Structure 1
Amino acid sequence: MSHVVDDAPLSSFHKKLALYSSGGPFVDGYILSIVGVAMIQITPEFNLTPSQQGLIGAAALIGIFFGAFLGGWLTDKFGRHLLFTVDLIALVACSVAQAFVGDAFWLIILRLLIGFAVGADYPIATSLLAEFTPSRWRGPLLGAFVTMWFVGAAVAYIVGQFLLTFDDGWRWMLASSAVPALAIVLLRMGTPESPRWLAKMGRTDEANAVLAKVYGPNVTLADLPEETSSNVTLGQLVKSGYGRRMAFITIFWTCSIVPLFAVYAFGPAILEALKLGGDLAHIGSAAITVMFLVGCLVAVFLVNRMGRRPLIIHSFLWSGLALLGLGLFPEADPVVIMALFAAYALLIGGTQIMQWVYPNELFPTEVRGSAVGLASSLSRIGAATGTYLVPLALTGLGIGTTMVIAAIVTLLGMAVSMAWAPETRGLTLGQAAALDPAPAPSRAKATAAL
């Protein structure tokens, strides 16, 4: 079997595609984080109850639930190329509209729509990136994809802190997400369609033209490794044997993001509850965001060297213990509190990058977008619920119990990963998607050595 495509060098095309694809998580991190800062001004202006605060914080996550599933289905049916820009155009419009809302109801509605657009982008962008990327770069590039979430979050805290000095600064904060979204739309224009998807649709001439343009004039579908799985429709996904993979991805993804999204939506409030109040809470939130980013970068470095399975298990274990420390010792010295928060942020990185590596590797081309979208949607149920409950838990249960619950959720992710996480390092995309993948030792060793 030819491996011209899977063994291709990393070209400028791949780098640009990775950068443009990562625009979605950048905007996601931005919009989910800046609302926590904006809430400082929104709460007194609209006289929000804890329940309303939770709804505003969780609205985008609820939107992601619907958007990810529909976006995944649409990208499998109509292709990756068209939807790669359309979804972000909708996000620009809704972001600007937030600056003109007059009550909590319309703010919740707009954040639902924004979440819908962001959710739709995830399966579209990651499917396109996975299907173009050579095997040895697939893990690092898909992993690097999620690091942009934390870059967006860090930028949001900086912008938010600056705009807090203005009256009605929260309106500018929420509308500001339109700026990066519009820039990403312009950059994405001209991106070619996935040749794997075109081939599955029987559009061989178009697929060959894309391959020749990206990889060289002599590269055709004959050089694209076949997927060993038989054709699977979304309706057949569970019955065909992929049900356990879907359950694994959904559960570990949920366990990874429930505590993390809660921290981002209400980071300053959580730090204030831990006796780090005032400006220190906002500075601490920004510092922790940097640690999240560092943790993801470290995980990107380790994903091929350490392997997918060990990385996700260790990430869940040690980050869960850090949260447990916060729950058991909420009255500890501020230095200890910040150290435990930083440890959590650094160590959770492995689970974060695997949210995009595993789903794109474990399903065949014809349902890859739908599977990624479905898993993303299902995981957001828990994330939205957790985010909604954070302000209620902080006032009703206290910070210690809240952090212990977050630790339990994280350690559950470790248990599920120990039971079900496969090792896909060194496999072609087709081999990884097969229900019984046959590893290629020589290729795996070469990949592991990178």
Structure 2
Amino acid sequence: MAASSGVAATERLTSFHLRVTATTFGANFSDGYALGVIGAVLPVLNTTLHLSGVWQGLLGASALIGLFFGSILLGPVADTIGRQKVYRYNFVLIAIASVAQFWAHSPLVLFLLRLVIGFGLGADYAVGSTLLSEFAPRRLRGVLLGSLTVLWTVGYVLANVLGTYIPITDNAAHWLLASGALPALLVLVLRIGIPESPSWLAARGRATEAAEIRRRYLGQSEVTAEEARAAAAEQPPTARYRELFARGQAAKTWFGVIFYSAQVLPYFAIYTFMSQILGTLHISDADTQNLVLNLALLLGGVIGLWPVQRVGRRPFTIGSFAILTTCLSAMAVFSGSSGWVLMVPFLVYTFVMAGASNITQVYPPELFPTALRASGVGFLNGTSRVASAIGTFVLPVSLSQLGVGWSMGWMALVLLLGTAVSLIWAPETRDTLTTEEWHH
């Protein structure tokens, strides 16, 4: 039968939706800035901290390692105790550890602090998109979730631009690292007062509280506690972690793991060590090319919001994987050509990858039911960060030992794997609801 007028209310974009979106945007901006800034300051830290190749790889991958543990450990916590507490307090850790980087003058201390930052950001990857998906109007869910990656790109590009055009001394490098505390503190303040997810409350049998939040914050005055109870009865109030791999869910979970990991492994590796890659291409004006590539990242992310919203999740994922695989394959095959020739597929790769990355914030919440959502999103983010950390650690060694051609070749194979798995397993989730379906 037709949905109630309470459902119609979920389709209206309210000031509360914008607030939740803004605070989640801030988290993704902080993540992009934190991961971008380490790439910007590593060339100076190599000298001032006398970094070995191993320490370069560890520092480049440090936040990604922390992201793994934060996502894996705190996703199930959010499914158990609620989204709100994790959503608020993880940024206390991020702000404190970010400031402390100013005094980190040994690679071990800096590594540990960036592990903590990554841990807090990992928690937000599990909870932020989950909470936003459970509040967002269905018709705008794709563009709102996809925009998270755009804000990540804004933070990443800003860090790279600052690193390119500010004279980076040892002192300036530590100021840049510590400056990540500013957006973290802003996010922390804005999150005060954000309520618990009504979807989570309803699934836990707290239907009256869920209905009150929907009425107060979403304007759903006609959604009653009885309707909430009826919707919650369609799914179990709690779920065990192993249910991510149960019949009917396992294929979605493994698809999410492989698709997400295959996409971000080359992305993080390439853009953490972009200056070294440009150096191997013998580009005479590397700073200008770095800026062009960063602008392509930003432009691709913004333009990529349109197909995420209008095209199905499955064709968008398969098509973008195919283009990305072709670009890195071309760089591998023509690695002996001039740097300017190689810049063409590199620029196309950068533009398409930025747009394709939007889907990594949209697909995961749509693959899991409410009771498993934070656990599932956390698992996907955590495993993808393992892949990212591996790529970030291996790429500088690969560039020095094998050269740019073979390095691009093995990353093209990773993208080819993502293409094949998407062809076999990718579901279409554009028209699914992430909140309860209010049918009666």
TM-score w.r.t. length of structure 1 = 0.91
Distance in 1 between residues matched to 2:40 and 2:419, nearest whole Å: 31
Q: Flag structure 1 segments of 5+ consecutive residues without an equivalent.
A: 433-439, 441-450
Measure, in 1, the Cα distance between the counterparts of 2:168 and 2:307: 41
CA apart distance, 1:275: 1.2
Residue 226 of structure 1 deviates from its aligned partner by 3.2
- Residue matched to 1:337: 342
Residue 32 of structure 2 contacts residue 156 of structure 2 at CA under 8 Å; is this kept in 1? yes
- State the match for 2:313 in structure 1: 308
Name which of structure 1's ranges 168-177 and 306-315 shifts more when overlaid on structure 2.
168-177
> 1:26 maps to which residue?
29
Task: Verify the 8 A CA contact 2:252 2:427 in the aligned structure 1.
Answer: no
Moved over 6 A (4+): none
The answer to whether residue 417 in structure 2 is matched with residue 417 in structure 1 is: no
Q: Name whichever of 281-290 and 182-191 sits farther off.
A: 281-290
Query: What is the CA-CA distance between 1:385 and the residue it aligns to?
Result: 0.7
Size of the aligned set, in residue pairs, is 431
Match of 2:393 among 388, 393, 407: 388
SS in 1 for 2:358: helix
SS of 1:44's equivalent in the other structure is: helix
Q: Does 1:132 align with 2:135?
A: yes
Encode CA deviations 1:103-136: one digit per residue, 9 max, x unaligned: 1111111111111111111111111100011111
The alpha-carbon distance between structure 1 residues 200 and 377, as it changes in their structure 2 partners (threshold 3 A), is same
1:235 aligned residue (225, 239, 242): 242
**Whole-angstrom CA distance in 2 between matches of 1:78 and 1:182:** 24
Is the Cα–Cα contact under 8 Å of residues 95 and 181 in structure 2 kept in the other structure? Answer: yes
Q: How big is the shift at 1:316?
A: 0.5
> Do residues 272 (structure 1) and 279 (structure 2) align?
yes
Greater Cα offset, 160-169 or 76-85: 160-169
How far has the Cα of 1:87 moved from its partner?
0.6
Deviations 1:287-340 (A, max 9, x none): 222222322222321123221110000000001111111122234344333322
Give me the whole-angstrom Cα distance separating, in 2, the residues matched to 1:430 and 1:17. Answer: 15
Between stretches 69-78 and 423-432, larger displacement belongs to: 423-432
* 1:428 to partner: Cα distance: 2.2
Q: How many angstroms apart in 2 are the aligned matches of 1:296 and 1:110?
A: 29
Q: Decide whether aligned partners of structure 1 residues 347 and 395 sit closer, same or farther in structure 2, where only a CA change above 3 A counts.
A: same
Out of 8, 17, 26, which is 1:14 matched to? Answer: 17
Report if aligned partners of 1:163, 1:172 keep a CA contact under 8 Å in 2.
no
CA positional deviation for 1:221: 4.8
Distance 2:190 2:260 in 1: 29
1:117–1:45: structure 2 CA closer, same or farther, 3 Å change rule? same
CA distance in 1: counterparts of 2:224 and 2:278, whole angstroms: 55
Pair 93,162 (structure 1): closer, same or farther in 2 beyond 3 Å: farther
Give the Cα separation in 2 of the matches to 1:310 and 1:350: 14
Match for 1:298: what amino acid? I
- Gaps (5+ residues) in structure 2? none
Is 1:144 the equivalent of 2:117? Answer: no
Match of 1:220 in 2: 224
1:321 matched to 2:326? yes
1:71 counterpart (54, 69, 74): 74
Please give the alpha-carbon distance, in whole angstroms, between the structure 2 residues aligned to 1:418 and 1:65.
27
Q: Distance in 2 between matches of 1:5 and 1:172?
A: 48
1:255 alignment counterpart: 262
AA matched with 2:224: T
Q: How far did 1:230 drift?
A: 4.8
Please report how far the alpha carbon of residue 167 of structure 1 lies from its aligned counterpart in structure 2 after TM superposition.
Answer: 4.5
1:49-448, aligned counterparts within 5 Å? 49-216=52-219, 217-221=221-225, 226=231, 228-230=234-236, 232-276=239-283, 280-429=285-434
Contact 1:163–1:173 at 8 Å: present in 2 too?
A: no
CA drift at 1:19: 1.7
Q: CA deviation at 1:15?
A: 2.0
Q: Which shifted more, 380-389 or 284-293?
A: 284-293
User: In 2, distance between residues paired with 1:405 and 1:275?
Assistant: 21
Distance 1:117 1:163 in 2: 28
Equivalent-residue separation in structure 1 for 2:136 and 2:47 (angstroms):
48
How many percent of aligned residue pairs carry the same amino acid? 36
- What is the CA–CA distance in structure 2 between the aligned matches of 1:376 and 1:396, rounded to whole Å? 30
What amino acid sits opposite 1:265 in the alignment? T
User: Mean alpha-carbon deviation: is it higher for 187-196 or for 153-162?
Assistant: 153-162
Report if the CA contact (8 A) 1:299-1:311 is conserved: no
Give 3-state SS (helix, strand or coil) of 2:427's partner.
coil
- What is the alpha-carbon distance in structure 1 between the residues aligned to residue 424 and residue 167 of structure 2? 46
Cα drift, residue 240 of structure 1 = 4.1
Please name the residue that 2:3 is paired with. Answer: 2
Deviation readout 1:73-111 (Å, 9 max, x if unpaired): 121111111221211111111111111122111111111
Q: Single out whichever of 326-335 and 152-161 deviates more from structure 2.
A: 326-335
Deviation at 1:197, TM superposition (A): 0.7
Q: TM-score by structure 2 length?
A: 0.93
- Matched AA of 2:178: A
Partners of 1:31 and 1:304 lie apart in 2 by 28
Q: Work out the CA distance in 1 between the residues paired with 2:354 and 2:246.
A: 32
Q: Which moved more, 1:118-127 or 1:286-295?
A: 286-295
